[in-house]
Amino acid sequence: MADPRNTLQKKFEPNHRHTNFGNVLTHLQVHGFRLHSRSNLDLRSPITAFCGPNGTGKTTLLQLAACSYRQGDQGFQLRDFFALGALDPTPFRADARLTIRTWQADAKPREITLTRRTSRWSDYRRRDEREVLFLGAAEFPPRAEEQGFAFRQAGRLVVAARTPCSPTVTTAVGRVLGTHYDRVERADVSLRERSGSILAAGRGALSYSENHMGFGECRVHNMIDRLEAQSMKSLILLEEPEISLHQSAQFRFGEYLVDIAIRKGHQILLSTHSEHLLRALPQVSRMLIVRDGGTGVRVLPGLASAQVASVLTDGHDKALRVLVEDDVAAAILAEMLAKVEPELLKTTAIIIGGYRDDKDQSVGGGKDAIAAAMRTLRDAGLRIAAVLDADANQEPANFVFKLPGTMPPEKEVFRNSAVKQLWSTTYGLDVDSFVAELAGVDHHGWFARLAERLGRDRVFLVGEACRAYAASVSFGTLPELLREAASKK
């Protein structure tokens, strides 16, 4: 069964992007808004998750995205989010501008720029038209905390129509929260001149409304109800949707976002601190934001690693973080450290910065992206290095190193005499003949082909081979260089 994340990305390919998602945002250039002195964002997925430390401008990006479209004669405007006043004299610079690119039916982008002219912003009417839904962090507070009439006067409410929510809402809410609902409905309620609507749920003989729901349950019910009711191919903006959800529910909510983006053609932008939600999304969805060491921020566009997202939100409990290109490189590096620097291994987080889809094609990451991201993360104050494949160029001054040899790690391992001997003795495999059969196959797929041939688990074979490889080669000064990197920022 195809991974839904790969299905989503395939629907976003340029030739049928507009058909599937409409005039989606593909690029934002932010100049002079709050911390974003000069941020360029290429949106390479129908879902983009802004993640990173507090105070790095994630909400600002959602607000700017909301202003990228008009809705008839209406729509969000920059003044809705960037209020000038005595306490806030400079939420944006005098030369602030927002450049917007949207994808058109002719498979080309259209670009406009909003700029400040005296006391007004220009070019609102030139924006593309699209439905926009912005659900902020304060949306859907618990009824008990809101203390509205529907809670304080619960015993006197007049309940009119009860409208069942769609089966999709009921199923999705139950899946996210890990429980079964027989029904979810929306009731119209009134008290004298006041009126409103309130959700109610039922499980077996138990029936209760939002008045008796906790924050997480209440918020998920309302968010999913609103998302399912939204027009097709809308722009959805969510501020920290994981609030009050436990870890597995956060992951399942991420899965739900992938599902609804596929079904309804929505483009979804969100801010999040949840590693678990990020893991459910396509890896090219992650957009990491870090402080630049001064008063601004830097955006790491599309560094394809769930682990890196976790690095930016955890307790900084490792002495060193090392970016590598894929799991084979990670296994080689781990075995090298276990061999020559076991204490360094214990205090090092090896982070995979590459990602390949179900056809083994590169989706994100790569040498250039990893090297650029590593330099930016180091500027943000993290102890970090990159160990690229042997066919890359080193930048020792910037703590960018490479593995031993001259070829990508898969080729180095398959042509290593110790590994050949291991596979010959253990599995009766003629490695040279097997490699000859792989002519034309991308080297990233070699271990998968080997697993098929031997009937063994690919991950096991990678670990076994990399252990034999690491035991038989010299890593030169690489361990010493990593030790040095662990002591410097």
Q: Which of 277, 299, 321 is the last residue of a domain?
A: 299
Locus of tokens 């409409």: 22
28 and 122 in a single domain? The answer is yes
Tell me, yes or no, whether 220 lies in a domain.
no
Of the candidates 470, 377, 50, 339, the residue with the CA atom closest to the CA atom of residue 351: 377
pLDDT at 149: 85
The verdict on residue 134 lying in a domain is: yes
**Together in a domain, 151 and 206:** yes
Overall number of domains in the chain = 3
Same domain, 191 and 251: no
State in Å, rounded, how far the first CA of the chain is from the last one: 44
pLDDT category of residue 158 using cuts at 50, 70 and 90 = confident
Query: Same structural domain for residues 286 and 320?
Result: no
In a shared domain, residues 284 and 418: no
In the chain, the percentage of residues whose pLDDT exceeds 90 is 56
Can you state the angle between helices 417-427 and 458-472, rounded to 10 degrees? 130
Query: What was the pLDDT predicted at 317?
Result: 57
Tens of pLDDT along 87-144? Answer: 999 899 999 999 999 999 999 999 999 998 877 888 788 999 999 999 999 888 888 8
Domain co-membership, 449 together with 472: yes
Are 200 and 113 part of one and the same domain? Answer: no
Give CA–CA dist 349/217, Å, rounded. Answer: 35
In a domain, 409, yes or no: yes
Closest CA to 25 of 141, 118, 98, 110: 110
The DSSP string of 224-288 is HHHHHHSPTT-EEEEE-TTTT--HHHHHHHHHHHHHHHHHH--EEEEEE--HHHHHTS-GGGEEE
Of residues 6, 114, 83, 5, the one with CA closest to residue 359: 6
Please report the DSSP string for 76-110 in residue order.
--GGGT---SSS-S-SEEEEEEEEEEEE-TTS-EE
Domain membership of residue 221 (yes or no) is no
Residues 328 and 253 in one domain: no
Based on the domain organization, do 103 and 234 belong to the same domain?
yes
Shared domain for 291 and 312, answered yes or no, is no
Cα–Cα distance, 172 to 224 (Å, whole number): 7
Q: How far is CA 236 from the centre of its chain?
A: 15
Q: Mean pLDDT lowest for which of 191-200, 315-324, 373-382, 475-484?
A: 373-382
Residue 468 makes CB contacts below 8 A (sequence gap 6+) with 416, 418, 419, 422
Distance CA 341, CA 302 (A): 32
Query: Strands 109-117, 92-103: parallel, antiparallel or unpaired by DSSP?
Result: antiparallel
Strands (E), 325-448: 348-352, 355-356, 362-364, 384-388, 400-402
Mean pLDDT of 22-33: 96
Does residue 423 form part of some domain? yes
**CATH code, domain carrying 40:** 3.40.50.300
What is the C-alpha to C-alpha distance for residues 146 and 349, in angstroms, rounded to an integer?
A: 43
Same domain? 333 vs 462 = yes
Q: Does 219 map to a domain?
A: no
Secondary structure letter of residue 322 according to DSSP: E
Final residue of a structural domain among 299, 317, 350: 299
pTM (global) more than 0.95 = no
368 within a domain of the structure (yes/no):
yes
Domain boundary among 238, 272, 299: 299
Whole-number Å distance between alpha carbons of 444 and 41: 29
Whether 111 maps to a domain, the answer reads: yes
Amino acid at 357: D
Q: What residue numbers bound the domain in which 350 lies?
A: 306-486
Residues 359 and 381 in one domain: yes
